[in-house]
Structure 1
Amino acid sequence: MDTEAQHTERDRSSTPEDGAEEEGSRSARRYRLLRHRGRRGPMSLRTAGLTGAACAVFVLLLSHFVIQPFQIPSSSMEPTLQVGDRVLVNKLAYRFDAEPRRGDVIVFDGTGSFVQEEVTENPVSSVVREGLAVLGLAEPAETDFVKRVVGVGGDRVVCCDKGGRVEVNGVPVDERYLHPDGVPSEVAFDIVVPKGTLWVMGDHRSNSRDSRDHLGQPGGGMVPLDMVVGRVDWIGWPAGRWSGISATDAFSGVPGAPPGGAHG
């Protein structure tokens, strides 16, 4: 008998079984792959959801403690800030015992100083607005304002001198940031800023409701330090106006207020 022929015949006869076994292995692998993909789908959605939630929490914490977008709702700070600008408010600027300085542009809660009556708002619309405001996509609350610090605690602020300029502690201030169509103030005033408060004014003086408009009211238009949200440091939107808010040297020659406040 030809042994080699028998082996060859045996090898040929085993091929169909081996092919069937290989096909079965492929089917098993395909089945396991499909099951794996089926399990991975819901996990991906869950992971995406958790990632989105984590990002939202991060943005909220960042906005609450570090940097908050703020949409400029009026022309009271032109030309420095324009209607619709989205600015970034540095909420760490006045932490660790730091206080606003003359010339700073700040955002503050005007409750009790600029707004005497409590503002009521629908709870649902309030939540929606606050959520959008966090991203700078909605106008701020009616109690939020943006102005420039002109006087700090103890300062005597007077308007106007013979040249029509605001004086702080007896020194006239050259406010080059003011809107060119207006004057430093059409309202005469002579005040001493109480300790722990600020005297604030808009850069577009003829179109700004600021501390001057609340003289004679409770608080006298003064903004308590603890109502300051932060300092406006950057314009973030629109893209064509990306820039920092330059510090002004307008008050560089103003001396500090003497103990007890400045007196004429």
Structure 2
Amino acid sequence: MTTDAGKHRPRWRRILGSFWAQLLLAFLVAGLLLTFVAKPYEVPSGSMLQTLQVGDRILVNRLAYLATEPTTGDIVVFDADRTWEVSGATPAEPIRTALRWIGEVTGFGPSGPHTLVKRVIGSPGQSVACCDDAGKVLVDGVPIDEPYVSDDFPFEAGVLDCGTTPRSSRCFDEVVVPAEAYLVLGDDRSGSRDSAASCRSPVAGADCWRWASDTGLVGKAVAIIWPIPRWAALG
């Protein structure tokens, strides 16, 4: 039975008090949070082993780079441009497209076909090269410590390094990161199709590089949120 108080409530309050209106409001709030604040993503490949496993769901802070830029060591999610496309890719099927949409919204399911997760090594204007005498990556001439790297390319000073023939596949020539771009590598260094994937050859051209663009950055990966046994903060 409708009470007198219920009859005299403004119509907008009666509408907002309904189950369906509250459900819609909850979806709108969740959508705004996922779009502008934080969003889960599924790790699509093993290029970040052992830090990230295939299928891990990571939480991405979309506000992390509003006032600052990514720095060496940050794990970022970005939308890759055409230079990252895999040749021979098959057209998306309707069901797969729908699953990707669900994955983009919830993080539980496949993410976008060109959404990648890598680690930032070089920022705009920095020079990056590999390797020094110990086989380390140099950023602005300074070797960086990378305890997260797994399964790196073989390197042995004087036997298989950047001056021997053949040259170690770990090596790539010095490059200056362009404006509004980032040089990104995978932690599973020898198993990652990353910025330097086509440049680890003494005959590689200057156009071998591919970059994570500033406009394509989704945000900074800050935590593993699924599966539960792998809960952990990142970096």
**TM bucket, shorter chain:** 0.7 to 0.9
Q: Distance in 2 between matches of 1:57 and 1:214?
A: 43
Q: Could you tell me which runs of 5 or more consecutive residues in structure 1 were left unpaired when the two chains were aligned.
A: 1-31, 34-42, 247-264
Question: Which letter maps to 2:217?
Answer: V
CA contact (8 A) 1:113 1:223 kept: no
Quick one: percent identity of the two aligned structures? 38
Q: Distance in 2 between matches of 1:218 and 1:67?
A: 34
Deviations 1:89-134 (A, max 9, x none): 00000114x2111110000011134238899535674344212332
Q: Distance in 2 between matches of 1:119 and 1:50?
A: 41
SS in 2 for 1:93: coil
CA contact (8 A) 1:200 1:222 kept: yes
2:212 is the counterpart of 1:223:
yes
Deviations 1:131-188 (A, max 9, x none): 2332111121121100000001111111111111111111111211111x33488342
Q: Distance in 1 between matches of 2:181 and 2:90?
A: 22
Question: Which letter maps to 2:108?
Answer: L
Q: Distance in 2 between matches of 1:124 and 1:242?
A: 30
Paired position in structure 2 for 1:23: none
Deviations 1:45-74 (A, max 9, x none): x93322222222222211111111001121
SS in 1 for 2:218: strand
CA contact (8 A) 1:233 1:245 kept: yes
Q: Distance in 2 between matches of 1:119 and 1:196?
A: 31
Paired position in structure 2 for 1:8: none
Paired position in structure 2 for 1:151: 122
**Which structure has more helix as a fraction of its residues?**
1
Q: Distance in 1 between matches of 2:86 and 2:229?
A: 37
CA contact (8 A) 1:119 1:142 kept: no
Mapping 1:197-236, distance limit 5 Å: 197-215=181-199, 216=205, 220-236=209-225
Q: Distance in 2 between matches of 1:121 and 1:165?
A: 40
Tell me the number of residue pairs that the alignment of Structure 1 and Structure 2 aligns. 203
Q: Distance in 2 between matches of 1:238 and 1:217?
A: 41
Q: Distance in 2 between matches of 1:108 and 1:164?
A: 28
Question: Which letter maps to 1:189?
Answer: F
Q: Distance in 2 between matches of 1:90 and 1:119?
A: 31
Kindly tell me: are residues 64 and 197 of structure 1, through their superposed partners in 2, closer, same or farther at Cα, counting changes over 3 Å? same
Q: Give, in angstroms, the shift of residue 78 of structure 1.
A: 1.2
Larger radius of gyration: 1
Q: Give, in angstroms, the shift of residue 81 of structure 1.
A: 0.9
CA-based RMSD of the aligned residues comes to: 2.7
Deviations 1:212-247 (A, max 9, x none): 12545868212221111100011111111212112x
Paired position in structure 1 for 2:72: 102
Of 49, 55, 60, the residue aligned with 2:31 is 60
Q: Distance in 1 between matches of 2:90 and 2:81?
A: 9
TM-score by length of 1: 0.69
Of 65, 82, 102, the residue aligned with 1:112 is 82
Question: Which letter maps to 2:172?
Answer: F
Paired position in structure 2 for 1:196: 180
Q: 4+ runs of 1 displaced by more than 3 Å? A: 116-125, 214-219
Paired position in structure 2 for 1:50: 21
Kindly tell me: are residues 53 and 245 of structure 1, through their superposed partners in 2, closer, same or farther at Cα, counting changes over 3 Å? same
Choose 74-83 or 145-154, whichever is displaced more: 74-83
Q: Distance in 2 between matches of 1:144 and 1:183?
A: 25
SS in 2 for 1:206: helix
Q: Give, in angstroms, the shift of residue 200 of structure 1.
A: 0.2
CA contact (8 A) 1:75 1:207 kept: yes
